[in-house]
Amino acid sequence: MVVNITRDGDIAVVTVDNPPVNALGQALRQGLWDAVATLDAAADVRAVVLICAGRTFIAGADVTEFGKPPVPPHLPDLVDRIEGAAKPWVAAIHGSALGGGLEVAMGCRFRVALETAALGLPEVGLGIVPGASGTVRTPRLVGAAAAVELVTTGRPVKAERARAMGLVDAVVTGDLRTAAVAFARTALEAPLPLPVSARPVTAPDAAWWEDQHAAIAARAKGELAPLRALDCLRVAAERPFAEALAHERATFLALRGSDQAAALRHIFFAERAAPRPSHVTAAPRPLRSAAVIGGGVRGAGLASALRSAGLSVVLVADDDAAVLRGPQTGGPSTKAMAERIGDADLVIVAAEGALAMPAVLGRLGGMCRADAVLAVPTGAGDPHRTAEPVPTPARVLGLNLFGPTAGVALLEIVPTAATAPETLATGFALARALGRILVQTGLGGGSIGHRLLRRTRAAAEDLIRQGLAPATVDAAMRAYGFALGPFEAWDGGDPVNVAAMPGQGTPGRADLSDADIAARLTAAMAEEGRALLDEGVALRSSDIDLVAVHGHGYPRWRGGPMFEAGRQVP
């Protein structure tokens, strides 16, 4: 049963149990719909606590239903029904109350949250707007400004901030069910507050909305949902409740069927599929300590992320790591290095270039514990060869880090032919501990990230040879939604030495629109993606899209090169 009703004296407790995240699929909507009728009819029930089993409160509508026609009871009707129940409902929130989950909670007369809980309306991240009164009830509860922040950014807030905003009535600790039942009893002693739909909202003036519009348009760069969400919020502040609700629903349904929403759903599921491939069944090795070798700012960023994940971490700066290149005079000795890293469960070489060469790794392998997992970058070459000189190559794994200089947004795991199953499983455990996006390449060797980059670079340089300026190509790709143009991304903003490019052609010859330029470069990425799949380097086409989005700034709302190529009519 996805909905169970129990009693605590005159308070009924409705428990939702729909693993993994209590998403509001049809069975759950029906279960809650029926629970309202059952409890309205129970004469001795004075109030109802709505609580969830498992790791979280209701985490939203069931995203897997989005490609299909909506089946009743519809979520907006369910929220109205809970709000209109004869007995006041109290939402008891732990984990995350997201999207439709928060909308159900706003249909309740009260909201109580554990201090560790988070609440939010992440719909814009899925290319839609809240579709069950989120844009209409939220401003009535927290005011227009806070509602704009919550709905247009999609970022959840922690319980205490939610209380300060007015989104929840109380933050509690200890046993949530006990606290919520006690809250309900106390609340019954005073007159009930108005249902959220009946509360007034102060409408900001037109200039305020225009400012919001300009700020969000600048951020959204072609992404539709944030501006449509703002539009819904404005209607909600300026028009009657029912009219705003109808406007929100129409916007929600239109966006749900849009290309952008399909692209964002594709990335949502790709991100969740990547860290748990079915072929990785071995148990990972324990991960308590790590040593990060070099890597400058990025190495330091990785070390700090590992610390936040609870590991004890030694960071060896590039200068100190130089000892790995061979006998040196001055500087720390091999013995001192071995003492620093000799205990780590995991040694990650974050430095690229000379420090990632086979001989260096052979020396490193001799310094760390015989069973330590050794993660090496593959940028310097074939990880199979790189691993050869390492004693027990079964514990070596290729690991590429992508993302902004100071952070790691994406990990790419490259097993070698010798990598043991538990070494691979440890790589996956590492990515999960870091909360980073992860993809695995096949045993064919090579890196999805590097191959995509090389191919895009070649295609971009081709355009320069045809006479386009690097700045033109960069601007076209930014207009397409990329975080940075290709030349900005590769050269950190330094001017590109066009004259030095082989085969530099006649400037001014090419006459390509921004859209043509973007089409050329994204098609080149997709072509390389197909080659990666054919060669077995990439295991899934969605992994290529993840690398493009998280490693190379491909606009998330376009779904990545493979997704876009797949949608084009042949």
Burial class of residue 453, CB neighbours in 10 A (0-12, 13-18, 19+):
buried
- Give min distance, CB of 229 to ligand 3HC, in A: 11
From the CB of residue 516, how many other CB atoms can be counted at a distance below 10 Å? Answer: 13
- Give min distance, CB of 56 to ligand 3HC, in A: 5
| Cis omega (within 30 of 0) for bond into 156 | no
Spell out the residues 6+ positions from residue 350 whose beta carbon is closer than 8 angstroms to its own.
292, 293, 294, 295, 298, 299, 302, 377, 401
- Give min distance, CB of 58 to ligand 3HC, in A: 9
* Alpha helices (runs of H) in 203-333, residue ranges in sequence order: 206-220, 225-238, 241-256, 259-273, 296-308, 318-321
> Cα 263 to chain center, whole Å?
14
Q: Which of 156, 8, 7 is nearest to 93 (CA)?
A: 156
Phi, psi angles (nearest 5°) of residue 5: -115, 125
Q: Which of 123, 412, 461, 488 is catalytic?
A: 123
131 or 427: whose CB is closer to ligand 3HC? 131
66 or 490: whose CB is closer to ligand 3HC? 66
Burial class of residue 514, CB neighbours in 10 A (0-12, 13-18, 19+):
middle
- The 8-class DSSP code of residue 24 comes to B
- Give min distance, CB of 230 to ligand 3HC, in A: 16
- Give min distance, CB of 515 to ligand 3HC, in A: 31
Spell out the residues 6+ positions from residue 69 whose beta carbon is closer than 8 angstroms to its own.
none
268 or 490: whose CB is closer to ligand 3HC? 268
- The 8-class DSSP code of residue 329 comes to S
Q: Which of 83, 103, 223, 271 is catalytic?
A: 103
99 or 383: whose CB is closer to ligand 3HC? 99
121 or 374: whose CB is closer to ligand 3HC? 121
- Give min distance, CB of 496 to ligand 3HC, in A: 40
CA dist., res. 437 & res. 543, Å (int): 10
Whether 160 sits among the annotated catalytic residues: the reply is no
103 or 545: whose CB is closer to ligand 3HC? 103
Whether 528 sits among the annotated catalytic residues: the reply is no
SS3 129: coil
- Interface contacts to ligand 3HC, rule CB under 6 A: 20-21, 23, 55-56, 59-64, 75, 96, 98-100, 103, 122-123, 126, 130-132, 134, 272
- The answer to whether 385 touches 416, Cβ cutoff 8 Å, is no
Token pair for 316: 């060896």
62 or 564: whose CB is closer to ligand 3HC? 62
Residues labelled as active-site residues: 103, 123
